[in-house]
A and B are shown apart, each in its own frame.
Chain A
Amino acid sequence: DGGITQSPKYLFRKEGQNVTLSCEQNLNHDAMYWYRQDPGQGLRLIYYSQIVNDFQKGDIAEGYSVSREKKESFPLTVTSAQKNPTAFYLCASNGGADTGELFFGEGSRLTVL
Protein backbone atom coordinates (compact mmCIF):
# COMPACT_ATOMS: atom_id res chain seq x y z
CA ASP A 1 0.00 0.00 0.00
CA GLY A 2 1.18 3.54 -0.68
CA GLY A 3 1.98 5.75 2.23
CA ILE A 4 4.52 7.32 4.51
CA THR A 5 6.55 5.31 6.98
CA GLN A 6 8.26 6.90 9.94
CA SER A 7 10.68 5.09 12.20
CA PRO A 8 11.26 4.56 14.99
CA LYS A 9 7.84 5.12 16.55
CA TYR A 10 9.39 5.73 19.98
CA LEU A 11 12.93 6.84 20.69
CA PHE A 12 14.82 7.68 23.84
CA ARG A 13 18.11 9.51 23.86
CA LYS A 14 20.46 11.01 26.36
CA GLU A 15 21.20 14.70 26.40
CA GLY A 16 24.01 15.64 24.05
CA GLN A 17 23.35 12.87 21.57
CA ASN A 18 22.28 13.36 17.98
CA VAL A 19 19.42 11.23 16.71
CA THR A 20 18.08 10.67 13.20
CA LEU A 21 14.40 10.06 12.45
CA SER A 22 13.55 8.23 9.26
CA CYS A 23 10.78 9.18 6.83
CA GLU A 24 10.14 7.15 3.68
CA GLN A 25 7.30 7.54 1.17
CA ASN A 26 6.27 5.44 -1.81
CA LEU A 27 3.68 7.88 -3.12
CA ASN A 28 6.05 9.35 -5.71
CA HIS A 29 5.54 12.77 -4.12
CA ASP A 30 8.00 15.57 -4.81
CA ALA A 31 7.43 17.60 -1.64
CA MET A 32 8.14 16.41 1.89
CA TYR A 33 7.85 18.12 5.28
CA TRP A 34 8.84 17.74 8.90
CA TYR A 35 6.67 19.09 11.69
CA ARG A 36 7.10 19.13 15.44
CA GLN A 37 4.20 18.88 17.89
CA ASP A 38 4.35 19.58 21.63
CA PRO A 39 1.61 18.39 24.01
CA GLY A 40 -1.67 20.22 23.47
CA GLN A 41 -0.22 22.34 20.69
CA GLY A 42 -0.55 22.54 16.93
CA LEU A 43 2.11 21.53 14.44
CA ARG A 44 5.14 23.67 13.75
CA LEU A 45 7.15 23.38 10.56
CA ILE A 46 10.81 22.42 10.93
CA TYR A 47 12.04 21.86 7.37
CA TYR A 48 10.53 21.14 3.98
CA SER A 49 11.80 19.96 0.63
CA GLN A 50 10.09 20.62 -2.66
CA ILE A 51 12.45 18.52 -4.77
CA VAL A 52 15.41 16.18 -4.46
CA ASN A 53 18.67 17.83 -3.32
CA ASP A 54 16.85 20.95 -2.17
CA PHE A 55 15.29 21.91 1.16
CA GLN A 56 14.26 25.04 3.07
CA LYS A 57 14.08 25.99 6.72
CA GLY A 58 10.68 26.21 8.33
CA ASP A 59 9.68 28.20 11.39
CA ILE A 60 11.78 26.28 13.96
CA ALA A 61 14.80 24.87 12.09
CA GLU A 62 17.43 25.66 14.74
CA GLY A 63 18.98 22.51 16.15
CA TYR A 64 17.75 20.32 13.31
CA SER A 65 19.20 19.18 10.00
CA VAL A 66 17.81 17.30 6.99
CA SER A 67 18.90 15.79 3.71
CA ARG A 68 17.01 14.90 0.54
CA GLU A 69 19.26 12.66 -1.51
CA LYS A 70 16.41 10.49 -2.78
CA LYS A 71 12.86 11.38 -3.72
CA GLU A 72 11.39 8.84 -1.35
CA SER A 73 13.46 9.69 1.73
CA PHE A 74 13.69 12.78 3.96
CA PRO A 75 15.50 11.99 7.22
CA LEU A 76 15.56 14.48 10.10
CA THR A 77 18.49 14.73 12.50
CA VAL A 78 17.83 16.22 15.91
CA THR A 79 21.18 17.56 17.03
CA SER A 80 22.51 18.25 20.50
CA ALA A 81 22.03 21.95 19.73
CA GLN A 82 18.24 21.55 19.95
CA LYS A 83 17.48 22.75 23.48
CA ASN A 84 14.09 21.07 23.95
CA PRO A 85 14.02 18.04 21.65
CA THR A 86 11.39 16.01 23.50
CA ALA A 87 8.37 16.11 21.19
CA PHE A 88 6.23 14.27 18.66
CA TYR A 89 7.69 14.52 15.14
CA LEU A 90 5.55 14.19 12.04
CA CYS A 91 6.62 13.73 8.45
CA ALA A 92 4.33 14.55 5.52
CA SER A 93 4.35 14.70 1.75
CA ASN A 94 2.24 15.97 -1.10
CA GLY A 95 2.16 15.47 -4.82
CA GLY A 96 2.96 17.78 -7.68
CA ALA A 97 -0.50 19.25 -8.03
CA ASP A 98 -0.09 21.14 -4.76
CA THR A 99 -3.65 20.54 -3.72
CA GLY A 100 -2.91 21.34 -0.11
CA GLU A 101 -3.65 17.72 0.74
CA LEU A 102 -0.79 16.51 2.89
CA PHE A 103 -0.28 12.84 3.65
CA PHE A 104 1.17 12.25 7.10
CA GLY A 105 3.10 9.42 8.67
CA GLU A 106 2.22 8.01 12.08
CA GLY A 107 4.85 10.07 13.84
CA SER A 108 7.93 9.48 15.97
CA ARG A 109 7.90 10.30 19.66
CA LEU A 110 11.32 11.40 20.93
CA THR A 111 12.08 11.58 24.62
CA VAL A 112 15.34 13.02 25.90
CA LEU A 113 16.35 11.67 29.28
Chain B
Amino acid sequence: DAKTTQPPSMDCAEGRAANLPCNHSTISGNEYVYWYRQIHSQGPQYIIHGLKNNETNEMASLIITEDRKSSTLILPHATLRDTAVYYCIVRVYGTGRRALTFGSGTRLQVQP
Protein backbone atom coordinates (compact mmCIF):
# COMPACT_ATOMS: atom_id res chain seq x y z
CA ASP B 1 0.00 0.00 0.00
CA ALA B 2 1.19 3.52 -0.83
CA LYS B 3 2.70 5.66 1.93
CA THR B 4 0.89 8.79 3.12
CA THR B 5 2.19 12.02 4.64
CA GLN B 6 0.09 14.21 6.93
CA PRO B 7 0.92 17.25 9.06
CA PRO B 8 1.25 16.21 12.71
CA SER B 9 -1.20 18.82 14.00
CA MET B 10 -3.65 21.53 12.95
CA ASP B 11 -5.96 23.99 14.64
CA CYS B 12 -9.37 25.13 13.48
CA ALA B 13 -11.90 27.59 14.87
CA GLU B 14 -15.28 26.21 15.85
CA GLY B 15 -17.84 26.72 13.09
CA ARG B 16 -15.23 27.09 10.39
CA ALA B 17 -14.26 24.51 7.79
CA ALA B 18 -11.39 22.19 8.71
CA ASN B 19 -9.27 21.19 5.73
CA LEU B 20 -6.95 18.28 6.44
CA PRO B 21 -4.37 17.54 3.75
CA CYS B 22 -2.79 14.21 2.86
CA ASN B 23 0.00 13.52 0.42
CA HIS B 24 0.12 10.14 -1.32
CA SER B 25 2.40 10.77 -4.27
CA THR B 26 3.14 7.07 -4.88
CA ILE B 27 -0.49 6.00 -5.09
CA SER B 28 -1.26 3.48 -7.80
CA GLY B 29 -4.29 3.32 -10.05
CA ASN B 30 -6.23 0.76 -8.04
CA GLU B 31 -5.63 2.25 -4.61
CA TYR B 32 -8.35 4.06 -2.72
CA VAL B 33 -7.94 6.84 -0.18
CA TYR B 34 -9.58 6.22 3.21
CA TRP B 35 -10.04 8.57 6.13
CA TYR B 36 -10.61 7.59 9.74
CA ARG B 37 -10.62 9.59 12.92
CA GLN B 38 -9.89 8.66 16.52
CA ILE B 39 -11.28 10.62 19.40
CA HIS B 40 -9.13 10.37 22.50
CA SER B 41 -9.09 6.89 24.08
CA GLN B 42 -11.69 5.50 21.67
CA GLY B 43 -11.50 3.21 18.67
CA PRO B 44 -11.04 4.81 15.25
CA GLN B 45 -14.15 5.64 13.25
CA TYR B 46 -14.47 5.36 9.49
CA ILE B 47 -15.26 8.67 7.80
CA ILE B 48 -15.11 8.36 4.03
CA HIS B 49 -13.20 6.85 1.12
CA GLY B 50 -12.75 7.54 -2.57
CA LEU B 51 -10.85 6.59 -5.71
CA LYS B 52 -10.68 9.66 -7.95
CA ASN B 53 -13.98 11.49 -7.80
CA ASN B 54 -14.83 13.82 -4.98
CA GLU B 55 -17.00 12.20 -2.36
CA THR B 56 -19.38 13.60 0.24
CA ASN B 57 -21.33 12.06 3.06
CA GLU B 58 -23.00 13.29 6.21
CA MET B 59 -19.69 13.58 8.03
CA ALA B 60 -17.29 15.10 5.53
CA SER B 61 -16.17 15.72 1.97
CA LEU B 62 -13.15 14.18 0.30
CA ILE B 63 -11.40 16.09 -2.47
CA ILE B 64 -8.84 14.13 -4.50
CA THR B 65 -6.58 15.99 -6.92
CA GLU B 66 -6.74 15.09 -10.58
CA ASP B 67 -3.34 13.38 -10.48
CA ARG B 68 -4.45 11.58 -7.28
CA LYS B 69 -1.20 12.42 -5.52
CA SER B 70 -2.91 14.29 -2.72
CA SER B 71 -6.29 14.68 -1.09
CA THR B 72 -8.08 16.89 1.41
CA LEU B 73 -10.66 15.91 3.98
CA ILE B 74 -13.08 18.74 4.64
CA LEU B 75 -15.21 19.05 7.76
CA PRO B 76 -17.50 21.87 6.66
CA HIS B 77 -18.48 23.27 10.06
CA ALA B 78 -16.09 21.98 12.69
CA THR B 79 -17.36 21.53 16.24
CA LEU B 80 -15.50 20.83 19.45
CA ARG B 81 -16.51 17.18 19.08
CA ASP B 82 -14.44 16.99 15.90
CA THR B 83 -11.25 17.32 17.95
CA ALA B 84 -9.48 14.06 17.17
CA VAL B 85 -6.60 12.42 15.32
CA TYR B 86 -7.39 12.01 11.62
CA TYR B 87 -5.76 9.20 9.64
CA CYS B 88 -5.36 9.15 5.88
CA ILE B 89 -4.81 5.62 4.53
CA VAL B 90 -4.24 4.34 1.03
CA ARG B 91 -4.95 0.76 0.06
CA VAL B 92 -6.15 -1.43 -2.74
CA TYR B 93 -9.88 -2.07 -2.66
CA GLY B 94 -11.13 -5.61 -2.36
CA THR B 95 -7.91 -7.39 -1.56
CA GLY B 96 -9.13 -10.17 0.67
CA ARG B 97 -9.71 -8.33 3.90
CA ARG B 98 -6.13 -7.29 4.50
CA ALA B 99 -5.72 -4.98 7.44
CA LEU B 100 -5.36 -1.22 7.12
CA THR B 101 -2.06 0.42 8.07
CA PHE B 102 -2.47 3.46 10.30
CA GLY B 103 0.29 6.08 10.48
CA SER B 104 0.53 8.84 13.07
CA GLY B 105 -2.22 10.98 11.53
CA THR B 106 -3.05 14.67 12.06
CA ARG B 107 -4.15 15.86 15.46
CA LEU B 108 -6.95 18.37 14.85
CA GLN B 109 -7.73 20.74 17.69
CA VAL B 110 -10.98 22.67 17.26
CA GLN B 111 -10.80 25.90 19.24
CA PRO B 112 -13.91 27.55 20.77
Q: How far is the CA of A108 from the CA of B76 in the complex (A)?
A: 32
Q: How far is the CA of A10 from the CA of B32 in the complex (A)?
A: 35
How many interface residues does chain A have, given as a range? 20 to 34
Stretch at the interface among A63-71, A74-82, A94-102: A94-102
Is the CB–CB distance between B49 and A41 below 8 Å?
A: no
How many interface residues does chain B have, given as a range? 20 to 34
Is the CB–CB distance between B43 and A30 below 8 Å?
A: no
Query: Given the complex, which residues of A lie within 8 Å of B34, measured CB to CB?
Result: 100-101
Is the CB–CB distance between A100 and B93 below 8 Å?
A: yes
Is the CB–CB distance between B93 and A102 below 8 Å?
A: no
Q: How far is the CA of A100 from the CA of B49 in the complex (A)?
A: 9
Contact of B93 among A31, A58, A98, A103 (CB under 8 A): A98
Q: How far is the CA of A78 from the CA of B100 in the complex (A)?
A: 22
Which residues 70-112 of B sit at the A interface, judged by CB distance below 8 A?
Answer: 87, 89, 91, 93-105
Say yes or no for B21: interface residue by CB 8 A criterion: no
Given contacts A42-B103, A58-B99, contact A107 B93 (CB under 8 A): no
* A59 CB → nearest B CB, Å: 8
Is the CB–CB distance between A30 and B97 below 8 Å?
A: yes
Which residues 7-27 of A sit at the B interface, judged by CB distance below 8 A?
Answer: none
Query: Given the complex, which residues of A lie within 8 Å of B102, measured CB to CB?
Result: 35, 42-44
Contact of B87 among A4, A42, A94 (CB under 8 A): A42
Query: Given the complex, which residues of A lie within 8 Å of B103, measured CB to CB?
Result: 42
Query: Given the complex, which residues of B lie within 8 Å of A99, measured CB to CB?
Result: 49, 93
Interface, chain A (partner B; CB < 8 A):
4, 30-31, 33, 35, 40-45, 48, 50, 58, 88, 90, 92, 94, 96-107, 109
Give me 15 other A-B pairs in contact (C-beta within 8 A), A97-B94, A99-B93, A107-B42 excluded. Answer: A33-B99, A48-B98, A48-B99, A90-B44, A92-B43, A100-B32, A100-B34, A100-B93, A101-B46, A101-B49, A102-B100, A104-B44, A106-B42, A106-B43, A109-B41
